[in-house]
Structure 1
Amino acid sequence: MNKRDHMKTSVQEPPLDYSFRSIHIIQDLTSEEPRTGLRPLRHSKSGKSLTQSLWLNNNVLNDLRDFNQVVSQLLEHPENLAWIDLSFNDLTSIDPILTTFFNLSVLYLHGNSIQRLGEVDKLAVLPQLRSLTLHGNPVEEEKGYRAQEGTMSPAIALAFLPLVVTLLVRYRHYFRLLVRTVLLRSLRNCLSGLRTEERAFSYVLTHALPGDTGHILTTLDHWSSHCEYLSHMGPVKGQILTRLVKEKAPTCVLELGTYCGYSTLLIACALPPGGHLLTVERDPRTAAVAEKLIRLAGFDECTVELIMGSSEEVIPHLRAQHGLHQAELVLLAHQPRCYLRNLQLLEAHALLPAGATVLADHVLFPGAPRFLQYTKSCGRYRCRLHHTGLPDFPAIKDGIAQLTYSGPG
């Protein structure tokens, strides 16, 4: 196959996709497996990929050291790279190595930490570059940013239409999730004046048996599957949580992120006699729903205490105001971007005894790469990842991280 025929073929190849892999340095690509799509990746006789697209988005890269060497190990024709996605990393500048790929036509750099508008000038040597994204960087605050940011012409956009259709098919599960959790939810909230959680509670009141926790949880699952998606933990992850609580038999559990109370009820049911659960929720309307569900299930404040407030504000006062000296088990189930800060607060206030278990939900979707990187590198945790899917969207891969704390030393 000559070079021209190869380029025509590789344009249609699926991308080499290393997104959401918590990749810290470029060399990690050689030991990571790329994501699989609807179509398998094709390889040359030497085992290298034939694609022209490399996706490294949503990782923790802060430089592109050894990028050229690693790409040469992965791609049969690295000089033909046409699409590089480096969005949502920690890059502070545009590495000159990118300017050596003269067939580059699409470069995504949005969601990084690029400070200077002058960095864009480096890309002027790329004759094929048609689409450049920089939004979400500090550079967009500079005067003249909008004039510098590249846009795609209608002709180029039409040329990319088959690829766009392919992406929509490949990520159709994410598109359905977006429709259910954002578009339909917003419409129903506007029409009813109630939130999804409040409508779910009304459904529970009319369909579940008071005092029967299992039936209440099943009713919430049915509501999420057949009425409105609830974004709750769901039965598959729930089984993992219940099993671990029963195995560890903690006398005191801390949950950050009560939401509608689904995981709270799971923990409360699995607690040993005399066990106590402290659960923290920052949103007052959601906390009100959770409080009603918890009491409807039959748990009083001696077993489940709900604290309303931001986790960062509550954690420093748990010992003095709520009598929590140490939590043998902690569930992080609120916003993944807050996990690392909250874990460090728990360490700083000596709220984790040696041997404590920390569970973190949604570490793969939407993902908590900095949290995972910290727990793997700090030397104070043994880590295990339970792979699951999202409730009602099993094709969207997620997971629960199980951490065992070895102590401050």
Structure 2
Amino acid sequence: MSKQDYMNTSVQEPPLDYSFRSIHVIQDLTSEEPRSGLRPLRHSKSGKSLTQSLWLNNNVLNDLRDFNHVVSLLLEHPENLAWIDLSFNDLTSIDPVLTTFFNLSVLYLHGNSIQRLGEVNKLAVLPRLRSLTLHGNPIEEEKGYRALVGTMSPAIALAFLPLVVTLLVRYRHYFRLLVRMVLLRSLRDCLSGLRAEERAFSYVLTHALPGDPSHILNTLDHWSSHCEYLGHMGPVKGQILTRLVEEKTPACVLELGTHFGYSTLLLARALPPGGRLLTVERDPRMAAVAEKLIRLAGFDERTVELIVSSSEEVIPRLRTQYQLSRADLALLAHRPRCYLRDLQLLEAHALLPAGATVLADHVLFPGAPRFLQYAKNCGRYRCRLHHTGLPDFPAIKDGIAQLTYAGPG
């Protein structure tokens, strides 16, 4: 294949996609599998990809050391790289290595930590650059940023139309989730004056059997699939959670993030005789729904105690105020960005005994890369990832992380 033929065909190739992989250093690309898309990637006889697009967004990269070398190992023609997505990483500057790709036309750098507006001047040597994103960086606060964006807007507009078609096709499942989870829910909230979880509880009251947690859980699954998407743990993850609790037989369980009580019922149902569950929810309105659901399922306060407060305030008081000296199993199901903070709080207050199990939901979507990086590298945990999809959206990959605590070391 001639170079001109390659240029004509490779622009239509799907991207080499390493997004949402918790990648910390560029060298990790050589050991990671790219995400699969609608069309398979084509490769040369040497095994390298023929694409001109490389997506590294939503990772934890803070520099691009060895970028040229690694890209040459992945791409048959790295010099023809035309689209690089580095959005939502931890980059503090624009690495000069990016200026060596003279065919680069699309560069996404939004959602990083770039602080100096002067960094953008480095890209002036790229003759074909027509789309550059910088929003969500500290440079937004610098004088002159708005003027710079204004000069770029025509170029970005030219790139927008073909890109939106690609994104709509590739991420159609995410757009469907956005419509169901945000747009339709917001509309119904305004019309009814109730939250989706409150509407779901009203449905449970008229369709589920009181005192039967399994029937209540099935009723919630039916509501989420056929009426309003709840964004809950769902039956597939529920089976994983139930199996792990039954295997570990924990005497004391701590749940951070009650939400409306779905996962709480799963935990309570799987507790061994005499087991105790403390669950923490910071939203009073959501906690009120959960409290009703938990009691409707037949669990009293001796078995399931609901604490309405933020996790960072509760954890230091668990031993003295709530008489929880140890958590044999902890489920993190609140905000993924808080997982690492709360795990370290549990360690600092000696609430995790050796052999304790820590489960964390949504570690791939929306993702908790810093939490996973810490758990894998600190040397105090054995880690396993249970891969699943979102309820009703199996194409959107997610997972539950299972950590086994080895002790403070």
Alignment-derived partner of residue 394 in structure 2:
394
- For residues 86 and 145 of structure 1, the distance between their equivalents in structure 2, rounded to whole angstroms, comes to 20
- Tell whether 2:381 aligns with 1:366: no
Kindly indicate whether the alpha-carbon contact (under 8 Å) linking 1:55 and 1:85 is maintained by their aligned counterparts in 2: yes
Aligned runs of 1:173-252 on 2, under 5 Å? 173-252=173-252
- For residues 92 and 341 of structure 1, the distance between their equivalents in structure 2, rounded to whole angstroms, comes to 23
- For residues 118 and 254 of structure 1, the distance between their equivalents in structure 2, rounded to whole angstroms, comes to 48
Alignment-derived partner of residue 75 in structure 1:
75
- CA apart distance, 1:286: 0.4
Q: What does the per-residue CA deviation read over 1:274-330, in whole Å, with 9 as the maximum and x for residues that have no partner?
A: 100000000011000000000000101000000001111111111111011110000
Kindly indicate whether the alpha-carbon contact (under 8 Å) linking 1:328 and 1:353 is maintained by their aligned counterparts in 2: yes
The code of the aligned residue for 1:114 comes to: I
Quickly say closer, same or farther: Cα 1:182–1:381, change in 2 above 3 A: same
- Indicate the SS of the match to 2:295: helix
Kindly indicate whether the alpha-carbon contact (under 8 Å) linking 2:254 and 2:327 is maintained by their aligned counterparts in 1: yes
Aligned runs of 1:300-319 on 2, under 5 Å? 300-319=300-319
- CA apart distance, 1:2: 2.4
- For residues 161 and 47 of structure 2, the distance between their equivalents in structure 1, rounded to whole angstroms, comes to 29
- CA apart distance, 1:362: 0.4
- For residues 203 and 21 of structure 1, the distance between their equivalents in structure 2, rounded to whole angstroms, comes to 38
Alignment-derived partner of residue 101 in structure 1:
101
Q: What does the per-residue CA deviation read over 1:157-180, in whole Å, with 9 as the maximum and x for residues that have no partner?
A: 566644432321221111100000
Alignment-derived partner of residue 129 in structure 2:
129
Alignment-derived partner of residue 347 in structure 2:
347
Aligned runs of 1:99-178 on 2, under 5 Å? 99-149=99-149, 151-153=152-154, 157=157, 161-178=161-178
Kindly indicate whether the alpha-carbon contact (under 8 Å) linking 1:56 and 1:85 is maintained by their aligned counterparts in 2: yes
Kindly indicate whether the alpha-carbon contact (under 8 Å) linking 1:326 and 1:350 is maintained by their aligned counterparts in 2: yes
Alignment-derived partner of residue 40 in structure 2:
40
Q: What does the per-residue CA deviation read over 1:87-114, in whole Å, with 9 as the maximum and x for residues that have no partner?
A: 0111111000001111111111111111
Kindly indicate whether the alpha-carbon contact (under 8 Å) linking 1:213 and 1:297 is maintained by their aligned counterparts in 2: yes
- For residues 170 and 84 of structure 2, the distance between their equivalents in structure 1, rounded to whole angstroms, comes to 18
- For residues 14 and 320 of structure 1, the distance between their equivalents in structure 2, rounded to whole angstroms, comes to 56
- For residues 162 and 221 of structure 2, the distance between their equivalents in structure 1, rounded to whole angstroms, comes to 37
- For residues 221 and 92 of structure 1, the distance between their equivalents in structure 2, rounded to whole angstroms, comes to 44
The code of the aligned residue for 2:42 comes to: R
- For residues 172 and 76 of structure 1, the distance between their equivalents in structure 2, rounded to whole angstroms, comes to 29
- For residues 109 and 158 of structure 2, the distance between their equivalents in structure 1, rounded to whole angstroms, comes to 22
- Tell whether 2:317 aligns with 1:286: no
- For residues 147 and 29 of structure 1, the distance between their equivalents in structure 2, rounded to whole angstroms, comes to 36
- CA apart distance, 1:67: 0.2
The code of the aligned residue for 1:237 comes to: K
- For residues 259 and 50 of structure 1, the distance between their equivalents in structure 2, rounded to whole angstroms, comes to 45
Kindly indicate whether the alpha-carbon contact (under 8 Å) linking 1:92 and 1:112 is maintained by their aligned counterparts in 2: yes
- For residues 266 and 6 of structure 1, the distance between their equivalents in structure 2, rounded to whole angstroms, comes to 54
Alignment-derived partner of residue 325 in structure 2:
325
The code of the aligned residue for 2:306 comes to: L
Quickly say closer, same or farther: Cα 1:369–1:252, change in 2 above 3 A: same
Kindly indicate whether the alpha-carbon contact (under 8 Å) linking 2:130 and 2:159 is maintained by their aligned counterparts in 1: no
Identity %: 88
- For residues 384 and 181 of structure 1, the distance between their equivalents in structure 2, rounded to whole angstroms, comes to 29
- For residues 143 and 289 of structure 2, the distance between their equivalents in structure 1, rounded to whole angstroms, comes to 46
The code of the aligned residue for 1:321 comes to: Q
- Indicate the SS of the match to 2:152: coil
* Unaligned 5+ runs, structure 1: none
- For residues 267 and 125 of structure 1, the distance between their equivalents in structure 2, rounded to whole angstroms, comes to 58
* Unaligned 5+ runs, structure 2: none
- CA apart distance, 1:359: 0.2
Kindly indicate whether the alpha-carbon contact (under 8 Å) linking 1:120 and 1:148 is maintained by their aligned counterparts in 2: no
- For residues 20 and 114 of structure 1, the distance between their equivalents in structure 2, rounded to whole angstroms, comes to 20
Alignment-derived partner of residue 12 in structure 2:
12
Kindly indicate whether the alpha-carbon contact (under 8 Å) linking 2:131 and 2:159 is maintained by their aligned counterparts in 1: no
Kindly indicate whether the alpha-carbon contact (under 8 Å) linking 1:130 and 1:152 is maintained by their aligned counterparts in 2: no
Question: What's the Cα RMSD here?
Answer: 1.2
- CA apart distance, 1:143: 1.2
The code of the aligned residue for 1:203 comes to: Y
- For residues 110 and 398 of structure 1, the distance between their equivalents in structure 2, rounded to whole angstroms, comes to 24
- Indicate the SS of the match to 1:151: helix
Kindly indicate whether the alpha-carbon contact (under 8 Å) linking 1:108 and 1:134 is maintained by their aligned counterparts in 2: yes
- CA apart distance, 1:127: 1.0
Kindly indicate whether the alpha-carbon contact (under 8 Å) linking 2:63 and 2:91 is maintained by their aligned counterparts in 1: yes
Kindly indicate whether the alpha-carbon contact (under 8 Å) linking 1:280 and 1:307 is maintained by their aligned counterparts in 2: yes
- Indicate the SS of the match to 2:372: helix
> TM-score normalized by structure 2?
0.98
- For residues 275 and 126 of structure 1, the distance between their equivalents in structure 2, rounded to whole angstroms, comes to 63
- CA apart distance, 1:8: 1.4
> TM-score normalized by structure 1?
0.98
The code of the aligned residue for 1:407 comes to: G
- For residues 370 and 393 of structure 2, the distance between their equivalents in structure 1, rounded to whole angstroms, comes to 25
Kindly indicate whether the alpha-carbon contact (under 8 Å) linking 1:43 and 1:49 is maintained by their aligned counterparts in 2: yes
Stretch of structure 1 that moved more, 276-285 or 121-130 = 121-130
The code of the aligned residue for 1:288 comes to: A
